[in-house]
Amino acid sequence: MNETQGNVILEYSLDRLSEGEFLINYDISKQEIPAEIERQLSKALDERNSDNVELAIMLGFKYEFSESVLSILHRLLECIWHSKHEDIIGLLQGFSSPLSVKPLCNAVELKEQLDYLNYDDYGSYYKKCFWALNSIGNDEAIDTIRGFSNHQDPIISEQAKYRLSKLAIPKEKKSSFWRGLFK
């Protein structure tokens, strides 16, 4: 993504541009945006460009993410050079795809390498991983949470046990915030 495109996304994300102004300045139609989000995420991954990961995710939050970005999100979740892991975990929660179980499991173990999350002593990152696994809800996802309930790190273990204790909550009572971002 070039600097002009990045600035236009930022201005639009901050509501300093209307949608019409954004589309004109970015030189794109509304129908092309899902493919553009995928293209920009893929390019940011290939170039290891953390700013462009953030901008592409901002654009997706303004519009929507298609399932075609799922494999890119999985790959980005494994990278330590950006700081959008929690947003990606939230997106994976919204997709609730069984394909995300292994990447979310890996994300739990990756947290110690994410220097920008050193402040998180209370397990909010792990909580998000387990919420996402709970949203997937298949046997593999639940078994993954169960496996973490015996983890040597007491914060991981505590968060996994807590999530397991909440499994009986009906899906309709779970937050629908993320579902609104997807087709």
Question: Do both 163 and 101 map to the same domain?
Answer: yes
Q: Which of 63, 96, 114 finishes a domain?
A: 63
**Residue 46 falls inside a structural domain:** yes
Whether 119 and 161 map to the same domain: the answer is yes
Residue 118 lies in a domain: yes
For residue 3, being part of any structural domain is answered with: yes
Distance between alpha carbon 6 and the CA centroid of its chain, in Å? 20
Place of tokens 């495109």: 5
- Domain membership of residue 13 (yes or no) is yes
Number of domains in the chain: 2
E strand or H helix at 85, and its extent? helix 85-95
Q: What is d(CA 21, CA 23) in angstroms, rounded to the nearest whole number?
A: 6
Q: Which residue has the tokens 């050193």?
A: 118
Q: What is the pLDDT of residues 26-62, one digit of tens each?
A: 999 999 999 999 999 999 999 999 999 999 999 999 9
- Is residue 81 in some structural domain? no
State the greatest distance between any 2 C-alpha atoms of the chain, in Å, as a whole number: 53
Three-state secondary structure call for residue 120: coil
- Whether 54 and 106 map to the same domain: the answer is no
171 & 95 share domain: yes
For 181, half-sphere exposure in the C-beta direction (CA atoms, 13 angstrom radius) is 22
> Do 11 and 95 have their domain in common?
no
Q: Are residues 92 and 48 in the same domain?
A: no
Question: 26 in a domain, yes or no?
Answer: yes
Nearest CA-CA partner of 49 in 112, 96, 2? 2
Are residues 49 and 114 located together in one domain of the fold? no
pTM (2 decimals)?
Answer: 0.87
Q: What are the distances in angstroms from CA 108 to CA 34, 55, 114, 142, 144? A: 28, 24, 11, 14, 11
Q: What is the separation of C-alpha 104 from the centre of its chain, rounded to a whole number of angstroms?
A: 10
The answer to whether residues 20 and 92 belong to one domain is no
Question: Could you tell me if residue 73 is inside a domain?
Answer: no
Question: 94 and 182 share a domain?
Answer: yes
45 located within any domain:
yes
Does 17 share its domain with 99? no
User: Domain residues for 48?
Assistant: 1-63
CB atoms within 10 A of CB 1: 21
Q: Are residues 103 and 162 in the same domain?
A: yes
List pLDDT tens digits, range 127-180: 999 999 999 999 999 999 999 999 999 999 999 999 998 875 545 544 444 444
Whether residue 49 is found in the same domain as residue 124 = no
Contact 149, 138 (CB under 8 A): no
pLDDT for 59-109, tens place per residue? 999 998 999 999 999 999 999 999 999 999 999 999 999 999 999 999 999
